[in-house]
Structure 1
C-alpha cells in the first residue's frame, strides 16, 4: 500500500484526502518513482474544483510535477535504472498519470535525469514553468534580442520562468503585476521594468517604455479587460499568447487593434510541446543548459509537508506566493 492524495467530490482544498491504495508495478515502457517532492500548479486546483479541461472519474488523483528516485522499471525501459534521481515532465493527463503520492508511475519518455546540482524541491519545480515559457516565447513567438515582451501574472512560477527565459535570449522584459507590493522582488528576479496595473495607466507606461516600436510579444495568463490595453500597446504584426484565463470577467475581442496592427491572438497549452517529441527534445536541451549555466533558476516561494496538502492548496489559491509552491514527502 502507498499513500496518495485523492478527492471524492469537487470543491475547495478541504476535499483532498490522503488515502492508502494498492499501486500496481510499472508496465512495459513505464517507470515507477519514489516521490521526494511535488511542484504544485494551478491546473490541479481547477481539476479539484471541476473546472479543468479534463473531467475526472471520481475518486481521482491529481498532480503534474514531481521529483524522486526510480523504484522500479517496466519491460523495455533501457535508459533508466532503480536508484536514478529523476524529475517528471508534466503528462498530458494528470488523471491518467497523477503525481500526488509516495509512489507514482509514468511513461519513461516523460522522465528526465535532472542535473545533480538540483535538490529535490528545485527539481520538482522545473518542468511545468520552463516548458510553458519556452513553448510560448521561444517555439511560438521566436523571441529574440531587441524584442520587448510583456509578461502578466509575473510573480507566478510561469511568469518568473518567462522573465528568465526572455532574459536568456536578450529580450526586454516588462513584468505586469496587480499592485506594487511585489515590484522590487520582480526587479530583483530580473525584470527590466515592472508595471502595477491597478495603480498605473498600463497603455501609457508601455508606450513610455517601448516608444514607437511597441510590444511585439505578450504572454498573458489573465484575459478579461486587460486585453484592450495590452493590444493597444502592441507593435504591428505582434503576437499575444494566452495560456491562462484567470480573470472572472469577460474577455473583449479588441477588433480595432487586431485589424489595424494585423495582430495574432493565440491560445496555447504546454501540451503542444510535451506532445511533440522533436519540440520536447529541443525544449529539454534549452532548459537543461539554462539550469546548468544558472541563467534558469527556479524560485521556490514556500515548502509544505505532504500531510499539509490541504494547507498548500489554500496557499496556492491565495495568490500571495512569489514563485513555486512545493510539497515534500
Structure 2
C-alpha cells in the first residue's frame, strides 16, 4: 500500500462520511444475511451476484441510498464476498460488524480508481465518485494503481491508500546472517549485540494521556465533553501508532539492506495477547496484570 494524507474540504468531508456510512450499511446488511445461515440448511446464503441485484432494488426504493455511489456500495459487497471466501479457506478470521466512528472507509476499483492527477510538486488530486476532486499530499512518488481505499481514523484524519506492489529491497550479497529476539523490555535484540526499541510517547505526552483518560472517566457518556476528550485521546494514540509504524518500516528496511538472511522467532502474537478474563464458571487469574502485558506486547510492534 502507498498511503497519503487526504485533505478534503468540510463539504467534501461530509460527502465522504456519507459514502463511508453507505459502504458500512451494505457490509453489515450482507453480514446479517450470511449470519442467518447455518451448516445443514438446504438453502445457501446469497452471494455477490444475488446481493448486487438486491442492492439495485434497495436503491430504487430508498432515496438516501440512491444518493450514494453505486460503485462504492457494490464494492462493499465484493469485499464482503472476498472476506467470506478467505474465512472458509482458513486464511482470515470471520467477518465482523463495522461500527460508525471506528470503521470509516470505502474502496474504489477499476477505471474510476485511475482518475488521479498531479497538481504540483506537493499536491495531487483524485476524482472520488459523488464527491468530486479531492486533494492529497504527495509525500512520496505516485505509482500507478488499479484501486485505492479512503479511510478516516479515530482521530479524524483522512488517508488514501493506493494498492501497489512495492519494489523489492536488494540485499547486500555478502552472506551476512542475523538473528532477532523480540521482547517487551527490548523490542528487538540482534545477534550482533544491537538493541532496538520502539519509540513511544514522551513523558509529557504520557502524563497528558493519563489526565485525558481520567477526564473521560468523569465525563457523561454521549456529552460534547466526552466526545472532545475521546478525540484528544485518539490523537495521542494515533501519534504513538505513527511513530511505531515508521520505526517498523525503517528498521525492517535497514535490516533487509544489511543482511542476506534474517532469522526471527516464530511467535503467535494472537494467542500471546489473548485475554485472561475467563468465564463466569471459570474466572481467570491476574487479569489486570495480563492486560498490561498484552498492551506492552502490542506496543512493541
Q: Give yes or no for TM over 0.5.
A: no
Higher strand fraction (1 or 2): 1
Please identify the structure whose Cα radius of gyration is greater.
2
Give me the TM-score of the superposition, normalised by structure 1. 0.20
